[in-house]
Structure 1
């Protein structure tokens, strides 16, 4: 297990979660070649920093890559990587499974996370699967409906009064003292798990662009690392252009990128319907910013109006996603119309999580009342 800090370059032999400089760490680029296997974990067996404990898998990964009709309107070839097909309906399951595999091997009896949504449900579910205790820390104003979907797995859900932004770092300290392995947003094993998205895309197609909804930055770093490892091992010839997508109402990475700054700054008063990516001070923000500059990649923001429109368009294709998942499609029209994404190119947009988790903002309508005797008339 050799980890390095992508910002200062310091290396570690033990599995730390963050560098002494305050930035996230990541595993060094792994070398290998694919195997024949049923799951992405088996096919890319020597691309993971530890052996996945397959008996505790819930069937995460190997999600559909769906050809979209929306691309025809824009003159591109568009594919949707449907991460809502994971066991707890979001991409988080990939990272959680690999991190829980490490926790089991390291002898932990409890795992935890700081989250009010997808990650909380994922950690609670995989802890239950592995017979571990789960400690889920949420903000005091966390939505009651979401918390029900977390507590159903039997973990301890704890509302924390005070600055929610401090919880990430406080949880790591508490975890060391109490023997709880906290699997937060950019945990290095979590980032490794997300590489599987890049591996699976490359097995099916060679995209020119990949649109990635971005909050803490762990997903973006994982997909980027996956493609980089594929290229370094001679499995693809060149990297696709990766695009960070953030909501305009909370876009600390894109703002720093646009303003030419080397480090992100706290985004004051975030306000967006895409709450799953509304992190005002993303812990991997500086690492994402460095990748964007190093590879000449892009960062794009979208409005809430554009997000809602994109969500409806995806539903028109049979895919009901949470607002954050629709941000890639919201960005796509702007990018094609500006010529940033040329016509005829191949684009993949990552659909990160299911819309069933965020029903509160959905409009009603479209439901007709009809007496049984008038059904023929109503059906015309």
Structure 2
């Protein structure tokens, strides 16, 4: 079960999580053919580095690819990959399931992650499902309300006082020492799990562009690896153009890309409504930047106003997503896409997780005796 570092080329016989040079590692490029099966795990059996523990699946993956009217004005054919319907309402479940499958095979009794949002809930849920202890490390300013949706699954939530930026690396060190398998944002098994998004898209569509909300960079790397493996296996004719999308208020990858830099730099004082992708120093940032440059792809940043407008537009189509999920739609206006282009935007997480911060539509008070008039006036 070898992994290698795309940055320096070093090969490891065991699935370590990061290279000695400081960059993330990944598995070899898998080749294979699709099979007939009920789930993405079975249909693409050849492409996983570990046998998926199917008895522990909660139904993650195989999410809908929804046709959208939002690209009509731009002259494009737009589809939305709706990851909000995963068991804990985000794409994280795909990576968590595969990482849990490995943790069980490797004999771990406890798993963990560093997160205050989607990944925290996902790891807590799947750990309970597998009968494993979960150590969820969060920042000291994480609200009690936000953590209820994490602790309800039974995981142990630990508020950590201190530099949250150091917590990612510290957790990996302590995990090795204490026998806790930390499946953080760009864990190599997570990357493999996210490939399923590319596989499922390719089963239905041959997109020209795929828009990916990008934070740590794990999702972007996974989708990229998925399309590359399909292409090298002769299952698709070409790899689509992938676009990393970030919020202007926290866009270290886009900034490095636009400034022509080879490496990202910490984004100081991040401020954006898209909290789920507000990572000031993404652990896979350099890897994403290299992919973008190597393949001639791009990175687009969008403002909070543009994000909120896109969120409202998606809601008008019946899809309520968190602000980070709407960034791809917000980026469309900033891209010069050819007429008729087939575009997929990834909707990463449900808006229900950010519901307290949403301004809803108009609510009318009406006495029962006046109900007919109220209904007429609103028609």
Tell me the TM-score range normalised by the shorter chain: over 0.9
2:287 aligned partner: 287
**2: CA distance between counterparts of 1:235 and 1:155?**
40
1:320 aligned partner: 320
**1: CA distance between counterparts of 2:207 and 2:298?**
15
1:347 aligned partner: 343
Matched, 1:366 2:362: yes
Task: Please say which of residues 72-81 and 218-227 is displaced more in the overlay.
Answer: 72-81
Deviation string 1:321-346 (CA, Å, 9 cap, x unpaired) is 000000000001121xxx2x112100
CA 1:61/1:320 → structure 2, altered by over 3 Å: closer, same or farther?
same
**2: CA distance between counterparts of 1:144 and 1:371?**
37
Q: How many residues align?
A: 376
1:356 aligned partner: 352
**1: CA distance between counterparts of 2:225 and 2:289?**
14
2:69 aligned partner: 69
**1: CA distance between counterparts of 2:361 and 2:300?**
32
**2: CA distance between counterparts of 1:308 and 1:18?**
35
Matched, 1:180 2:180: yes
**1: CA distance between counterparts of 2:31 and 2:208?**
24
SS at match of 2:344: strand
Q: TM-score, normalised by structure 2?
A: 0.98
Please report how far the alpha carbon of residue 360 of structure 1 lies from its aligned counterpart in structure 2 after TM superposition: 3.0
Task: Please say which of residues 360-369 and 206-215 is displaced more in the overlay.
Answer: 360-369
2:29 aligned partner: 29
**2: CA distance between counterparts of 1:5 and 1:285?**
14
Query: Once superposed, which parts of structure 1, at least 4 consecutive aligned residues long, lie more than 4 Å away?
Result: none
Which residues in structure 2 correspond to 1:8-23 (within 5 Å)? 8-23=8-23
Which residues in structure 2 correspond to 1:134-283 (within 5 Å)? 134-283=134-283
Deviation string 1:126-181 (CA, Å, 9 cap, x unpaired) is 00100000000000001222100000001100100000000000000110111100
Deviation string 1:49-69 (CA, Å, 9 cap, x unpaired) is 010000000000000000001
SS at match of 2:273: coil
Please report how far the alpha carbon of residue 365 of structure 1 lies from its aligned counterpart in structure 2 after TM superposition: 4.4
**2: CA distance between counterparts of 1:148 and 1:259?**
41
What is the Cα-based RMSD across aligned positions, in Å? 0.6
Matched, 1:375 2:371: yes
SS at match of 1:236: coil
Which residues in structure 2 correspond to 1:35-46 (within 5 Å)? 35-46=35-46
**2: CA distance between counterparts of 1:192 and 1:317?**
31
Task: Please say which of residues 311-320 and 65-74 is displaced more in the overlay.
Answer: 65-74
Matched, 1:117 2:113: no
Deviation string 1:209-245 (CA, Å, 9 cap, x unpaired) is 0000000000000000000000000000111000000
**2: CA distance between counterparts of 1:329 and 1:143?**
29
1:298 aligned partner: 298
Task: Please say which of residues 188-197 and 3-12 is displaced more in the overlay.
Answer: 3-12
Q: TM-score, normalised by structure 1?
A: 0.98
Gap runs ≥5 in structure 2: none
Please report how far the alpha carbon of residue 361 of structure 1 lies from its aligned counterpart in structure 2 after TM superposition: 2.3
SS at match of 2:270: coil
